[in-house]
Structure 1
Amino acid sequence: MYDNRMFLFNVPFLLIILIQLWNPVKATDGAISVAAYFPEIGNDLTKVTWAHAVNNRAKLNASLHDNSMMIEADVLMGQLTGSAPGENPLPIMGHPPTTTSDLSLEEFLTTILKSNKRKGVKLDFKSKEVFAGAENILEEILVKPEADFPIWLNADVAPGPVASTVKPVDPDYFVSTVVKKFPSALLSVGWTTRFGGDIQTGKYTDENIANMTDILSRNSVIHRVTFPVRAAIAANSGTELTGLVRSSVPGTTLTIWMSNDSDKVNVEALKYLILDLGRDKVYLDLPAGLIQELNLNNNNSAASPLRISVATSYMVLFGVAILSMLSL
């Protein structure tokens, strides 16, 4: 015989699940939500603004005084400008093939903490070695009370399109370390890519998706993540990417990026992906020109029927559960 007490016990749990599904940006994990930190965007993640490749002091100072919300920067092992020859390398801000910088990771983070500016941070680690070298710095700084802003830790951990020859960051080391050591940070994991120039076709394949989900599964990732995807390739991969996000933990998102002007983007296909998935599930780290071409502001309601349909389905399920309880 069915135990009424068990059902009554499950009702609050069902309510919690329903609330998380209704508003996934407020998922109950340790990472600070961008949407909650910047309530002015109204859960429309496409409105988040970015300062890109903030890898020196001048760019950092500029980004702290502009209207950007998220500061994106690259971290690699190298030397500070003016350091003695042969001095031990340390985590610095820079993008390969750079090997020197006037800004270390420690100074980068400390400067942001002391600025009292309302900014989020995305750190893109280029190798296992630099992430390992940065762990102590991150542990020391991210526990400070001032570190109350969104912090993303990013790496390309899986080989991706189009037959990329770039070596991914060790996936198990990076993912497991972020999960265990840095619960206040959002895990951002992507694929290495090769595109542009004479390569203008390609997509994120089912194999790419399966590889990524396997990495997350075997490292016990149970909280929301963001998947950075290259705009030109993402535009060709709508089915695969929407399936990935919708089958992931509530609150999981895409971060669509573009750093190479030679990439030819199918604007209409990319726009369809964004609106089909929902603007509450997609960040746009894109050039201003491409954002203008997307012209999303004229399509505020385009993806609403899907979101309303999903939300309504959850409400129906909840209603059925309540009626079942009352009939006992």
Structure 2
Amino acid sequence: MATSHLEYNEKTSATEVASAFASHIRDKNVVITGVGPNSLGEALALAIGSQKPRNLILASRTKAKVQEVAAKVQDLSPETSVEAVVLNLASQKSIHEAASKIQSLADRVDTLINNAGMMVLERETTDEGIEVQFGTNHVGHFLFTNLLIPQLKNAAKVSGPGSTRIINVTSAGHRLSPVRFSDYNLEGKDVPIDERPPDGLPPMFSTTAEGYNGWLAYGQSKTANILFTVYLSQHMASSGIVSYGVHPGSIWTGLSRGLDDIGYETMSKTSSFWKNADQGAATMLVAAYDPALKAVSDPSEVYLSDCQFAKTAPHAVNMDSAERLFHLSEKLVGIKFAL
């Protein structure tokens, strides 16, 4: 599979992509998580908002911040209905409330962009006691997405196959760790070889005596984003819904607010090209609206970077792991979902 714009690359902007796919955005209902000022979420909202979607629902943990972005988009596109929804992905109660609010606002969702994410170096947990990066970046979005499946299916019924899409924002950081099914809270339990980090990582990626390493926890959560995408791509195609995982590229965002000096130094060495927010949001829009992207038969073809398809670490596209993660996630949210 290939995109329809092979000339797009790391320098392409979301504004440019939205303009190119304007007819696929117009009159659609769009939900974006992780929307705040000076963020990838804001860049996504502004780019999509510029092409007259019918409803743009922006979700974030902080009401004032998401309302600030909503006001900007409303000024840009007065004919679009723009709604701000409070969503704390570290609280399953908040996720249920946000999903219920969205269900009352729109009977269908054409595009869901799970953009929110966090990275911390010290152990934190969600309201339910799950390690906070796994719990927020994956489990929170897992619950949120599944609660909106009826709205996504409604959209797919009135759109062509492959037009309704779920975009999960992941990271090249998925290469740091598989999902640690035996120790997803990183509590120091012994894990089998296939759940351990790859060989050759620097000492800073080693777990502590208590079992925790923020980098590995982040890597696990980003692998989970891709495995969830793999599961959705295989199980939702019959409903006309497709899913893609996206690495935005190297960009300094609020995601890095939890890093210490060593963390900043490490991050600064990971790329020779640092994107602005508009460039960072571009690949999400390719994944969300490029008509060349349809149902995925090969689980390895779900990942995009720099506006083109890219390869993942093998542990991120293993179908058995995707199935196992889905059922673990159901257990962690206390609900069985029939897709």
* TM tier, smaller: 0.3 to 0.5
Give 1 or 2 for the bigger CA radius of gyration: 1
**Larger RCO (CA within 8 A; separation ≥ 6):** 2
Under a length normalisation based on structure 1, what TM-score does the superposition of the two structures give? 0.35
TM-score by length of 2: 0.34
